[in-house]
Chain A
Amino acid sequence: MAEPRVMDIKDQPGFRTIAIICLLVLYVPVLILMIFSFNSGSLVTHWEGVTLNWYGTAFGNEEFHAAARNTLIISVTATIVSTICATLAAIGMTRVKPWRGLAAAFMVINLPLMVPEIITAVATLSFFALIAGAFGLNFGIGNLILAHTVFCIPFAYMPIRARLEDMDLTLEYAAADLYATPWNAFRRITLPLLVPGIMSGAALAFIVSFDDFTITQLVAGPGQTTLPLYIWNQIRRPMTPEINAISTILLMVSILFVSVSFLIARRRAK
């Protein structure tokens, strides 16, 4: 593996340095936050020694349990509902003759991505306040599940649609030629091939729901604290490394799901 000594035409001077700086900038603050979750002192900035106690404190904390429970209820439900809806919509918008309104439907699906989160947050808050005032309707934690489902749908939709568009259509035609009913062709051919896209979409939907702060903060009622809201409540008190421990757990969940989604997508590309 002798490096050729000629100049590589693709290189631009200084770009490597900037790339490495970017990577350091992105990771160093987060790594420091993670390291301090193992700090045996009770200050978030002075290092005293290594301990796992703050994780113990977090796991033993009743408020943390409640927040984790709420977060899981909301994000698992929102992920399931949004992934089913997104899968159906992706089929309805790719395996179909172009219909009038298809472009508009595509815009509606992607709308939650284009509207700034804070606007979605106050709009959803106003909506639930209105139906509570006018019809006495309050779905409790269902309010949050519905709000999350809305912005999860486009995230789940993207990889599923991409997978459907990459798929070899001749397989579906072959199934039809062999007298498979449309349902059988879907169940035996399209769906198995679509599974990686669905999993990748579900992973993304789960992350965005699990991590959501802005919309949850404005829409959540009393007793509907999620993990990001719990962290926010902790910031406003004197801080201990417990907050670092909880933050680290949240980051680990994100990293796990991103990596899963990434690996699935990469295998597809091969």
Chain B
Amino acid sequence: MTTAALSSAPLSKAALFEAQAVKNSARRNRLLSLPALTIIGVFGVLPLIIICVYSFLAAAPYGGVQWQFSTDAYLNFVFQRDIFDDTLQFTPDFLIIYLRSFLFAVVTTVICLLLGFPTAYFMATRPPAQRNWWVLLITIPFWSNLLVRTLAIMFIIRDEGLINNALIGLGVIDKPITMLYTNFAIQLGLLYAFLPFMVLPLYSSLEKLDFRLIEAAYDLYATRRQVLWRVIIPLSKPGIIAGCLLVFIPALGAYVTPLILGGGIHLMIGDLIAQQFGSGRNWPLGCAQALILMAAVLVALYFYVRNTSGKVQHG
């Protein structure tokens, strides 16, 4: 951009000199990214490399690792060594937790999309002044403390919580329905946590929608339904994909939600990993589990890149 702007002007000797000076400073400028890159490199990237190494080491009895090559962590993921005859037995416990987390994440993504899309569309079609309020109202929960928001859900669905008290008060039920520490609680918590993550990217995509296209569709005798499915939704595909990814990835690796609403009974991947570093005292296994989660995230990101690259984003 610098060179393009400079070369379009007629260049005198002084201007050439100046261009050289700007270029030199522009070259020096790249060094400015060093502090950020160093901090993230040392305290962000290096730790990821360390857990890759740790996942191939043996567990020390009281947490930590022993510097001894071992593939036990990955074997333990699907097998358990029989303590008597040292044979490997297929144990799907961890796989089941991964599968369950995957299902939780998929259901969360789908329901968030079903609720989030109409919301984002409604927001995008408001007059500008109203629109800003809506965006602020969705942005606040987006940035609010997840632990506190999860706690709010816990208060409502407890045995003596608001829902049960109201239902008993109305005479609908005699004794409280157990909702806390169930799969339902986790699912509800995930929906509550990640709904704003779906609405905001959808909104920023729908906000740029060219409404003349909708007018054109109606001119061509499209019904409301057809306009929605054949015009609006295809045009907002980048936003839909971004929103789904922003919900799916954190939902898959959720830690706080199952910790508080699952009560340690119904685990998700996040709690499973944390457990290996706490009471489980098997760091290599925890590292292997973390890397398997990372692989799943990378697959999701790969689909995202494949679906968005090479296409001109609308607007």
Contact = CB atoms under 8 A, between A and B. Distances in A.
Whether chain B is bound by chain A comes out as: yes
A92 B25 CA distance: 10
A266 interface: yes
Given A22-B199, A116-B270, A146-B43, A122 B139 contact: no
B120 to A, nearest CB: 8
A258 B115 contact: no
A2 interface: no
A121 B123 CA distance: 36
Contacts of A243: 151
Contact of A115 (B48, B64, B260, B270): B48
B279 interface: no
B115 A231 contact: no
Contacts of A231: 147-148, 151
A45 interface: yes
A149 B119 contact: no
A116 B35 contact: no
Interface string B49-88: 0110010000000001000000000000000000000000
Given A88-B35, A117-B255, A204 B143 contact: yes
Given A231-B147, A231-B151, A116 B252 contact: yes
Contacts of A125: 277
A85 B118 contact: no
Interface stretch (B90-98, B235-243, B293-301, B306-314): B293-301
Contacts of A257: 143
A261 to B, nearest CB: 8
A235 B151 contact: yes
Interface string A241-270: 001000100110011011100100010000
B148 A250 contact: yes
Contacts of B270: 116, 118, 214
**B interface, over-half SS:** helix
B39 A149 contact: yes
Contacts of B142: 258
A251 B252 contact: no
Given A262-B136, A262-B139, A123 B162 contact: no
Contact of A157 (B36, B47, B253): B36
A176 B158 CA distance: 65
A105 B37 contact: yes
A33 B45 CA distance: 38
B186 interface: no
Contacts of A228: 145, 147
B125 interface: yes
**Which 9 pairs, one residue from A and one from B, show the smallest C-beta to C-beta distance?**
A116-B253, A92-B32, A92-B33, A123-B47, A127-B47, A89-B36, A29-B152, A19-B122, A85-B36
Interface of A: 8-16, 18-19, 21-23, 25-27, 29-30, 32-33, 36, 44-46, 81, 84-86, 88-89, 91-93, 95-97, 99, 102, 105, 108-109, 111-112, 114-127, 129-130, 133, 146-147, 149-151, 153, 157, 169, 173, 176-177, 182, 204, 207-208, 211, 213-214, 218, 228, 231-232, 235, 243, 247, 250-251, 254-255, 257-259, 262, 266
Given A11-B125, A44-B155, A116-B297, 10 more contacts: A22-B119, A29-B155, A88-B32, A109-B36, A116-B293, A123-B48, A153-B36, A235-B151, A243-B151, A247-B151
